[in-house]
Structure formats: structure tokens, C-alpha cells
């Protein structure tokens, strides 16, 4: 029997954690035992490349390709190489990594051991947001259990591969999730993003080769190693491979997070999993992958949730956690809430982001409070094209912040105009 | 600065900081961990604590303060026994966090960024807590409260 929903097979409705014994009874650490000693690192890398796994942190970058930039063998200078798991998960609307971290910590740990083995990294970190206390506790327990079992530490499973794994608890700031800012934070500094190149794969943590991957990305690795690339590709129902954790929050009957084949249509996620809209609410639009993705509208419901289809529709799959805008919530205030978040979380390094985002927030506040002027829409459009342009800022925070605004101006323009014409918000405060 | 007035970090704090130092290549790399450790023991990072940590990590207090002030959850001002973190991001906002905020203010007599006179609670806003399917949510101390309603607040803050 092959597994169809590998990521959540150890995740229970009551969210109790799967401990080492339960994890192993369910086939856990078999992938590690297959790779060590059976598969040399180059074979593991080839398997990940062939699987077409794409990063689940938001950008969808092919994982195997990312890993292939790390200097190996004779090309690697002596010294440490690092693997970092990005468990910062601070994007508004994202709550999928929490599930994996809290409910099946060993799956992530096994994925990290295998990734580190593939890259021949000898030190690994899990960079986790400070509010994820339960996840931190369970990860530390899992790591301690692995040391006792010989899955971590010196000479893993009797091989010459050794790995230390540490949990680093952040001190709270969304920008830490950006991979170069994360590296600065791990080095104990202010989390300012760094210019690329050099890319972290070559010069990252303390100037050494470093790979940063999302929690969900790494959780896929044991299954890919155990069952192979073709099996993984076969799990998807559209162009992209594997399964995906999809989430829905907002005014639906059953908000939550589910593992489904990659490419499951949005409608199926909303109607079959999330139970459709709450009584008395209708769907206005949705952000498909967290607070930094462009709105989609009901006409997009039959699109498959994958990187290419959502991209072609003008948005991004991002984290795959959908935020619902219902017909009783003001789209202007919705976008203002997001812009305020991004403005507050800006690291302040670049002017368009540091000064531009608060300005957009102010314009939106004026419109929302009935003080908007007709020319404000033009101002917002100009901000979208300037702040949103890739290359005008040092990292993707500012362009991401502009995505919901830009698409709201497109799809919900009449709402903005009505605020300005009537001199007030036609919606009440949410309740 | 008069060094004698700087309280020495406790043995426990020092040993926890030194455990972090064991796996970083230079001392200042443990800056954030060290401040989190001290904050866990003392609730916040006072000027005196900051100086003691900076000395231990062989960095200047100004440099350390520049790092401290970057991060939201390093407190450079005293906080109550428990910090209330009420999520105000988009899904919690749609599900009524503004109303909950007013209810907490009513019950405890403190607005955002304030501490109750009995030092029990400090009330802060927080961005998305990664529990949007259970919105609206808040943390009080180490505990996460999900699917909040005004009645839940009455129970949590019953004195
Ligand atoms: C502002 C900002 C915040 C980000 N936050 C996260 C995050 O919390 N978790 C995450 O995995 N990736 C986040 N990313 C993406 C990371 O920079 C990086 O692309 C990702 O961790 C790579 O992992 P992957 O290839 O496995 O997707 C963020 C990016 C930006 C620009
Ligand atoms: S875009 Fe914003 S968050 Fe990113 S580096 Fe510039 S100022 Fe910092
Ligand atoms: S928006 Fe409140 S937990 Fe995500």
C-alpha cells in the first residue's frame, strides 16, 4: 500500500503529538535507514531534483535546484555547512507549519537529517517564532529522543555522517522569515535582509554555505526518499508534484487545514473541506496563499490550487492558506489591516518600504473613514507600481504588501469609489 | 558607568547563556538568546541587565540595545506577570478582535501597551498568531485561547 497523504498520516484530529515510538511504528525513520547507508548524498539529491518538489515557503522555488548550488565534495571548502528550517510562519493567514511542527515533530526532524545528509551539512537549526511554545517543546523532545536513538549526533546509524540540530527561538519580527534576514537574526543581529548575490547556498550563515527551507518542504523529504520521485509526482492532480497543506480562514463553516493532492481545485477546498460559507455570508474574494498574495474572485473557483494556475490568474499560491473576504466585510478596511501589518513589520532599510507603506496605510485610512478624495485612487495606483516593482526594494516584503492592494483596486474598485463618493464606509465594524 | 552598580547575572542565567555560547562562533552571536534567557527569568530586560549581558558577550550596550529594540518580543520596559497578546491581523480582525480589545480594556482597565496597577497583566497587540482557523485568538502568558468570544474573556479574566 502506498501512502496518498504522507504529510498528515501521523496527525490526529485531537492534535496529540506523535512520539518517537508511534512515529517508528508507522514507518518513521525508514527513509533515513534507506539513505544511510544505501544512498550516497548525490543519489538523494538526484531523487529530490527528479521529484519536482517546490519550496512550500511561498516562492515555490525548486528544492533540488536550490540544493544543487551548494558546493559539494572537492568543491566544498573545509568548514561547516548549515541547514536551516524556516519555522517563522508569521504571514497573516498562514497556519499550516504550526500543524506539522506540533503534531509530527519527528517527520520534520527526519526530513532535516536527510536534507543535511544530502548537503553534507553538519549543523542544522530550526528557526521558530517565539509564540510557538508547544511546537518548540515537542521539537526539543524529538531532538533529545533522536540523540538517544543515534539518529542525531556523531556517526549517525554508524556512518561517518554527523549532525547537530538546534532549535533557535526568535524574538518576533515578520521580516525574520525572509531567508537572508533570518540568517542575520540567527547570527544575533538585527534582521535586515542581505543583498543577493552572494546567495546563501554559497555564503550564508557566518559566511558558510547555507540552505534555508520551509517546514513543509522539509517534511516532504523522508517520503520522497522512501517512495521515490515518480511516486511523488503521481500524488499531484495537476502540473505540480506532491500534496499540499491547504488552509482556509474567515467566514466559512469549518475553517481548518488539510492535506490534499497538489492542484486540488479551490472550489473543492472551500466547499468540501471548509464546508462553504457561513450562513448569511457570501464569497466576495479570497487571498489564495496568505496576506501577501493578490485577490482571486468567485470566477476563479475552478482553478487548481498549484503554482502555475494561480500564477496565471495573476496571483500566487504562496503558503496555500486561503483568507476569505466575505460580502459583509469592507474590502478597503481588509486591505488596510494588511498594509498596516506590512508597514509595521518593515525593517526600515529601503525608503519605498519604510516610508511608502505607512503612506499607503494613511491613504487607505482616510478613504475608510470617509475623508478620501477622488485623486487618492491615483495615489494608490502610483504607490502600487512603485513600491510593488521588484528591484525597487531590497527584499520581497514591500512588493508582497502591494499585492492585495493592487488586486483590490482592480476587483473592488466600486467599493473604494463608494467610500469616497459617500464620505463614509458602507460596511459596519466586523462582529 | 559605575561597574559596581551592575548586578551580576545569576548562575542559572549565566549557565543558560553559556550553553548557547557553546555552539556559536563568536560571543555576540548569542545576543538574542541571552536577552531571551534573562527576560524569561526577570520578565523584561532592564538597562542594568542589558549592560551585564553586553559585558558577558563582549559587545557594547548600545549595540545590544540596537538589537533589542528591533525585536517585538524583547521587552525593554517592565511588564506584568502575564502578557496578553491579542491578535489584530486580518482574520482575527474580521472575526471581531476590535470588540474583544474594548472588552479587555473594560474588564482590566488598561488599554494597549498598558499594565494593570497590580502588575498582573500587560496588554499588547500582536500580529497573526498562526491560528487563523481558530480566530479570534489571543495568548495570555504561555497559553493560547482560540475561538474567543466576549464570554470567554469574562472567564479568563475573572479575578
Ligand atoms: C518578508 C518575507 C517573509 C517570509 N516569511 C517566511 C516564513 O515565515 N516561512 C517560510 O518558510 N518562508 C518565508 N519567506 C520565504 C523565505 O525567504 C524563503 O524563500 C523560504 O524559507 C525558502 O524555503 P522553501 O524554498 O522551502 O520554500 C518569507 C519571505 C519574505 C520576503
Ligand atoms: S523591502 Fe522593506 S523589509 Fe525588505 S529590506 Fe526593504 S525596508 Fe526591509
Ligand atoms: S489572523 Fe489572528 S491568528 Fe492569524
Verify whether ligand 2 is closer than 6 Å to residue A394 (CB atom).
yes
Give SS3 for A108: helix
Contact residues on chain A for B112, CB-CB shorter than 8 A: none
CB–CB of A93 and B139 under 8 A? Answer: no
- Give the pLDDT of residue A305: 97
Instruction: Kindly give the distance from the C-alpha atom of residue B119 to the centroid of ligand 1, in angstroms, as a whole number.
Output: 38
| Residue B113: domain span | 82-156
- B87 and B126, same domain (yes or no): yes
Which CATH number do you get for residue B140? 3.40.30.10
Mean residue pLDDT across chain A: 96
pLDDT tens column, A189-215: 999 999 989 999 999 999 999 999 999
Q: What is the pLDDT of residues A372-412, one digit of tens each?
A: 999 999 999 999 999 999 888 999 999 999 999 999 999 99
Q: Which of residues 112-151 of A touch B (CB under 8 A)?
A: 123, 129-133
pLDDT in tens, A315-327: 999 999 999 999 9
Give me the pLDDT at residue B1, please: 46
Instruction: Report the interhelical angle of A356-368 vs A375-387 (nearest 10°).
Output: 150
pLDDT tens-digit profile of B58-80? 999 999 999 999 999 999 999 99
- Total structural domains within chain B: 2
Distance CA A367, CA A148 (A): 60
In B, residues 26-65, which contact A (CB 8 Å cutoff)? 28-33, 35-36
pLDDT for the residue B158: 82
pLDDT the model gives residue A74: 87
- What's the pLDDT score for residue A431? 66
Are residues B86 and B51 located together in one domain of the fold?
no
What CATH number does the domain containing B45 carry? 1.10.10
Instruction: Look at residue A430 in the predicted model and tell me its pLDDT.
Output: 76
Looking at the structure, do residues B62 and B95 belong to the same domain, yes or no?
A: no
Strands A283-287 and B114-115: unpaired
C-alpha cell at A92: 497573516
The ligand placed nearest to the CA atom of residue B128 is 3
Contact A131 B139 (CB under 8 A): yes
pTM of the model: 0.97
Tell me what pLDDT residue A30 has: 98
* Domains of chain A (ranges, CATH numbers): 6-234 (3.40.50.11540), 243-326 (3.10.20.600), 331-422 (1.20.1440.230)
Hey, how many other C-beta atoms are within 10 angstroms of the C-beta on A12?
Answer: 12
Q: Which among A343, A300, A303 has a CA at the least distance from the CA of A325?
A: A300
Query: Angle between the A96-103 and A105-119 helix axes, to the nearest 10 degrees?
Result: 100
Would you state the pLDDT for residue A49? Answer: 98
Nearest to A411 by CA among A311, A325, A328: A325
| In A10-89, beta strands by DSSP E | 82-87
Cα A346 to ligand 2 centre (Å): 6
- pLDDT tens digits, A345-360: 999 999 999 999 999 9
Q: Do A171 and B72 touch (CB under 8 A)?
A: yes
From edge to edge, which strands make up the β-sheet containing A164-169?
A: A164-169, A123-128, A82-87, A210-214
Average pLDDT over residues A303-312: 96
Low-confidence ranges of chain B (pLDDT < 70): 1-7, 159
Amino acid at each position: 500500500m502506498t501512502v496518498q497523504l504522507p504529510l498528515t498520516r501521523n496527525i490526529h484530529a485531537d492534535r496529540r503529538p506523535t512520539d518517537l515510538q508511534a512515529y517508528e511504528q508507522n514507518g518513521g525513520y525508514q527513509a533515513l535507514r534507506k539513505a544511510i547507508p544505501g544512498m550516497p548524498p548525490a543519489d538523494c539529491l538526484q531523487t529530490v531534483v527528479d521529484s519536482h518538489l517546490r519550496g512550500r515557503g511561498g516562492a515555490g522555488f525548486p528544492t533540488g535546484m536550490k540544493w544543487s548550488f551548494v558546493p559539494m565534495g572537492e568543491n566544498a571548502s573545509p568548514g561547516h555547512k548549515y541547514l536551516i528550517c524556516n519555522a517563522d510562519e508569521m504571514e497573516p493567514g498562514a497556519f499550516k507549519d504550526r500543524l506539522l511542527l506540533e503534531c509530527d515533530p519527528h517527520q520534520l526532524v527526519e526530513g532535516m537529517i536527510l536534507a543535511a545528509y544530502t548537503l553534507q551539512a553538519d549543523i542544522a537549526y530550526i528557526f521558530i517564532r517565539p509564540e510557538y511554545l508547544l511546537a518548540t517543546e515537542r521539537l526539543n523532545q524529538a531532538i533529545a529522543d533522536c540523540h538517544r536513538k543515534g539518529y542525531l549526533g556523531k556517526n549517525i546509524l554508524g556512518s561517518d555522517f554527523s549532525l547537530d540540530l538546534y532549535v533557535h527561538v526568535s524574538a518576533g519580527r515578520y521580516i525574520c522569515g525572509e531567508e537572508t534576514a533570518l540568517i542575520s537574526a540567527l547570527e544575533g543581529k538585527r534582521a535586515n535582509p542581505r543583498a543577493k548575490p552572494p546567495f546563501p547556498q554559497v555564503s550564508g550563515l557566518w559566511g558558510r554555505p547555507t540552505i534555508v527551507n520551509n517546514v513543509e518542504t522539509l517534511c516532504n523529504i523522508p517520503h520522497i526518499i522512501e517512495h521515490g520521485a515518480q511516486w511523488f509526482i503521481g500524488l499531484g492532480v495537476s502540473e505540480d508534484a506532491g500534496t499540499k497543506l491547504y488552509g482556509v480562514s474567515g467566514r466559512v463553516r469549518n475553517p481548518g487545514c488539510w492535506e490534499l493532492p497538489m492542484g486540488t481545485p479551490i472550489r473543492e477546498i472551500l466547499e468540501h473541506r471548509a464546508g462553504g460559507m457561513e450562513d448569511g455570508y457570501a464569497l466576495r474574494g479570497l487571498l489564495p496563499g496568505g496576506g501577501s498574495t493578490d485577490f482571486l474572485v468567485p470566477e476563479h473557483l475552478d482553478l487548481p490550487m498549484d503554482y502555475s494556475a494561480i500564477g496565471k490568474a495573476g496571483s500566487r499560491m504562496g503558503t496555500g492558506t486561503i483568507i476569505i473576504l466575505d460580502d459583509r466585510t469592507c474590502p478597503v478596511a481588509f486591505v488596510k489591516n494588511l498594509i498596516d501589518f506590512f508597514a509595521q513589520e518593515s525593517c526600515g532599510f529601503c525608503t519605498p518600504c519604510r516610508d511608502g507603506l505607512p503612506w499607503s496605510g494613511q491613504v487607505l485610512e482616510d478613504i475608510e473613514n470617509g475623508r478620501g478624495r477622488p485623486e487618492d485612487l491615483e495615489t494608490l495606483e502610483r504607490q502600487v507600481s512603485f513600491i510593488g516593482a521588484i528591484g525597487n526594494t531590497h527584499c520581497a516584503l514591500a512588493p508582497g504588501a502591494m499585492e492585495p492592494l493592487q488586486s483590490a483596486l482592480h476587483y473592488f474598485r466600486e467599493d473604494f469609489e463608494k467610500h469616497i463618493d459617500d464620505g463614509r464606509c458602507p460596511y459596519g465594524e466586523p462582529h | 558607568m559605575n561597574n559596581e552598580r551592575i548586578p551580576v547575572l545569576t548562575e542559572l542565567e549565566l549557565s543558560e547563556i553559556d550553553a548557547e555560547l557553546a555552539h556559536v562562533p563568536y560571543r555576540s552571536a548569542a545576543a538574542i538568546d541571552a536577552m531571551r534567557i534573562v527576560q524569561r527569568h526577570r520578565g523584561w530586560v532592564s538597562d542594568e541587565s542589558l549592560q551585564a549581558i553586553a559585558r558577558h558577550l563582549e559587545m557594547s550596550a548600545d549595540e545590544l540595545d540596537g538589537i533589542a529594540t528591533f525585536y517585538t518580543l524583547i521587552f525593554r520596559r517592565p511588564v506584568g506577570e502575564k502578557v496578553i497578546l491579542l491578535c489584530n491581523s486580518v482574520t482575527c480582525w474580521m472575526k471581531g478582535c476590535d470588540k474583544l480589545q474594548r472588552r479587555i480594556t473594560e474588564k482590566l482597565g488598561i488599554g494597549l501597551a498598558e499594565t494593570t496597577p497590580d502588575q498582573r497583566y500587560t496588554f499588547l497587540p500582536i500580529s497573526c498568531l498562526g491560528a487563523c482557523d481558530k480566530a479570534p485568538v489571543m495568548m495570555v502568558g504561555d497559553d493560547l485561547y482560540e475561538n474567543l468570544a466576549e464570554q470567554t474573556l469574562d472567564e479568563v479574566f475573572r479575578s
